[in-house]
Structure 1
């Protein structure tokens, strides 16, 4: 019941539709640029083709996931939600399930579309590694989808903890694109703290070539486990906080 209700909320608002439309244009636009202006003799790996999805689509989808919580606190609709479903844990779980599935499906579709876009505009040499029969392509599709799904769980948790749209948007944008790269670039701090930063681990798992200045302590699978653990801990703290502050 809770999952269905959250799905109806998501499907009956315009924000998700316009959000997806915007990130599709941005993601595919960068893929087309890579295929049309890159060196014709250098192949484009699936991870590079998915660069636009990692830079534009996933962060926006995570913000959308967080806004499903903060938006209800801002309008006061959260009271109606809790009246309909008194179990606060079920409410957060429903939001996490719906937003993570939505983000995962959208991300997977956009990665496939980006790969196809590069193949359409690039040379045969550029698209040599981008055939849909290549396991590396589907590894990237799966990795990006898993990242988006776990990130959505993290975003819902942050939304429930922060409860203010501007605050959670700032965290979800500044942390992966400003704070973590700066910490990773500091010689002493980056070596000691960098491998423990959540989005740095997510980036190491997807292997998308974003700015990565940190030498990790473990491989891609370890990075996935670490990022999943961070998302689970933040979500668990949010569940405890909501049950305590919204009796």
Structure 2
């Protein structure tokens, strides 16, 4: 138990003592707030801006940036060759990966929740009073919790991908292209998108969030909570594979 606590504390210190996560998170927040302002500014007089539309920037752009931050907690150590020191201090590599997962998930969830709150406030401030009347604390609580959960799971996925790839450029390419390019393209393939779309992990999590993005409306094989479960299962498979690979190959 003491080893787990020490590993968690070490990962917390690592994340808190470098500036790149903070700057990346601030960049993601600025981008999310900008998208919220654009969404609010483009509403018509009698159109109501929903909390889901207000947090589009957080879900689409903010969370992927947080995924990159989570991935760099792994790839940064491989690049600097400090991962060997980490494994010497904590020989159980599963504990090391678990500590990175826990710290990255908590950091991403808290950051995403703050971005959601900021995006809703920005959208409410920019939108005309009738358009922004749905942007209340009670109305935004559900989407805030959902996006925070999504960010936590995405951070776990990022740590898993990073542990498998080990190189920052490769991990960043996978984590950004997967939700922002590959899945939207597959989901919109003429004649095939309707068949492929329901099985795309990020398409499923966006269905759970009910946030509008580049995915068509698919005839789903399961409900909203099952879509979250599907995404969680994909994350779990990637993480289990990462732990197995990390335990088998050299640092």
Structure 1 length as normaliser, TM-score?
0.95
Give the corresponding residue for 2:221. Answer: 217
Residue 64, structure 1, aligned to residue 61, structure 2: no
| SS of residue matched to 1:127 | coil
**Which of residues 139, 143, 146 is equivalent to 1:140?**
143
Distance in 1, matches of 2:39 and 2:190, equals 32
Cα deviations across residues 67-124 of structure 1 (Å, max 9, x unaligned)? 1111111110100110111110000000000000000000011101111111112112
| SS of residue matched to 1:133 | helix
Residue 202, structure 1, aligned to residue 202, structure 2: no
**Which of residues 155, 172, 176 is equivalent to 1:173?**
176
Of the structure 1 ranges 116-125 and 182-191, higher mean CA displacement relative to structure 2 is found in 182-191
Distance in 2, matches of 1:231 and 1:214, equals 23
Cα deviations across residues 176-195 of structure 1 (Å, max 9, x unaligned)? 11111111112443233221
User: Alpha-carbon deviation of 1:164?
Assistant: 1.0
**Which of residues 119, 122, 128 is equivalent to 2:124?**
119
**Which of residues 151, 159, 172 is equivalent to 2:162?**
159
User: Alpha-carbon deviation of 1:34?
Assistant: 2.0
| SS of residue matched to 1:167 | helix
Count how many residue pairs are aligned between Structure 1 and Structure 2: 245
Cα deviations across residues 194-225 of structure 1 (Å, max 9, x unaligned)? 21111111111111111112512212101100
Distance in 1, matches of 2:16 and 2:183, equals 34
Residue 18, structure 1, aligned to residue 48, structure 2: no
Residue 183, structure 1, aligned to residue 186, structure 2: yes
Give the corresponding residue for 2:113. Answer: 108
Distance in 1, matches of 2:167 and 2:89, equals 23
Residue 234, structure 1, aligned to residue 245, structure 2: no
User: Alpha-carbon deviation of 1:55?
Assistant: 2.1
Give the corresponding residue for 2:89. Answer: 84
Give the corresponding residue for 1:40. Answer: 45
Cα deviations across residues 144-169 of structure 1 (Å, max 9, x unaligned)? 01110001101100000011111111
Q: Where do 5+ consecutive residues of structure 1 fail to align?
A: none
**Closer, same or farther: CA 171–133 of 1 in aligned 2, 3 Å:** same
Give the corresponding residue for 1:53. Answer: 58
Distance in 2, matches of 1:189 and 1:64, equals 34
Distance in 2, matches of 1:72 and 1:235, equals 18
Distance in 1, matches of 2:217 and 2:238, equals 23
8 Å CA contact 1:205, 1:223 repeated in 2: yes
RMSD (Å), alpha carbons? 1.3
Q: Where do 5+ consecutive residues of structure 2 fail to align?
A: 1-5
